[in-house]
Amino acid sequence: MTPKLRAFGAFWYDFLIGDDWRVAIGVVLALAATAAVSRTKVSSWWITPAAVALLLGMTVWRATRRRSRT
């Protein structure tokens, strides 16, 4: 039963989180920061696009470094 449960968990992890968990964490933090800044008078729309540019660049960079090391 345990291997099946593990496979089930692995499927959902891969489906929702994917190859780089840092991206998921980054998205959560970016949206949390947007929510926090939105409560002030400062404009907050730019936070998510900036985070996306940073996260995509970082995850691609990490993947290429890992591949060039192997």
What residue ranges bind another protein (CB under 8 A)? 15-20, 23-24, 27-28, 30-32, 34-35, 37-39, 43-45, 47-49, 52-53, 55-57, 59-60, 63-64, 67-68
Which residue's CB is nearer to another protein, number 6 or number 31? 31
Which residue's CB is nearer to another protein, number 2 or number 12? 12
Sign of CA pseudo-dihedral 17, 23, 29, 31: negative
Q: Does residue 23 sit in helix, strand or coil?
A: helix
Which residue's CB is nearer to another protein, number 2 or number 68? 68
**Rounded CA gap, 48 and 54, in Å?**
10
